[in-house]
Chain A
């Protein structure tokens, strides 16, 4: 079955450490996205990529970095510069086009202490 795999489901890190969240899709989608979800805040866009080797900042990119070396993969690194990294992170993908719905992974819950 096609879909998006995010791993791990739960991640714990100490403050000051960088951490990388994995996102892999086998839907053959060109576009991929990272969202952050906090209680009562909805989803906020961190980064998105419409083609391999290209990506754009979303609304809250500070303290995060991404890469898009393969069509299937879009890892997100939460750096030590991110002031409030504890959150639920969702990866999504879509066929390119403004009316294409997003397909979501099941998320990674990151806790930084």
Chain B
């Protein structure tokens, strides 16, 4: 079965610093990859998705992610974070013919002034 590993449960950074949130998945067979963001006591919002094509995907709020098939990774990056980026971030994978998404356990990003 497909699994998703988010390597860091918490990431503290200072405002305007760059950040990378790491995500690895278990299978390289025909996957579709997503990053979602969750603000406190809210649902999840889609940040970006990789379906095919260019391995560098740009999303909302200045975030981007790079699909690396050989390393089965889909790390999320932002060159300069804001206080408002404080939230929990989830990586998710849909494999092959499945319509179900498998989610990682989440990474809490805290941006400090």
Asked whether, in the complex, the Cβ of A99 is within 8 Å of the Cβ of B51, the reply is yes
Asked whether, in the complex, the Cβ of A106 is within 8 Å of the Cβ of B43, the reply is yes
Asked whether, in the complex, the Cβ of B105 is within 8 Å of the Cβ of A41, the reply is yes
Residues of B within 8 A of A4 (CB): 43
A-to-B contact residues, CB < 8 Å: 4, 6, 31, 35, 40-45, 48, 50, 58, 90, 92, 96-107, 109
Asked whether, in the complex, the Cβ of B42 is within 8 Å of the Cβ of A99, the reply is no
**Roughly how many angstroms separate A71 CA and B49 CA in the complex, as a whole number?**
26
**Roughly how many angstroms separate A6 CA and B42 CA in the complex, as a whole number?**
11
Residues of B within 8 A of A45 (CB): 100-101
Q: What 20 new A-B contacts, CB under 8 Å, besides A43-B103, A45-B100, A109-B41?
A: A4-B43, A35-B103, A40-B9, A43-B44, A48-B100, A92-B43, A92-B44, A98-B96, A98-B98, A99-B49, A99-B51, A99-B94, A102-B46, A102-B101, A103-B46, A104-B45, A105-B43, A106-B41, A106-B42, A107-B41
**Roughly how many angstroms separate A69 CA and B51 CA in the complex, as a whole number?**
32
Q: Which of A31, A92, A101 has the most CB of B within 10 A?
A: A101
Per the CB 8 Å criterion, the residue count for chain B at the interface is 24
- B100 to chain A: closest residue by CB: A45
- Of the candidates B32, B36, B41, B45, the one whose C-beta lies within 8 Å of that of A98 is B32
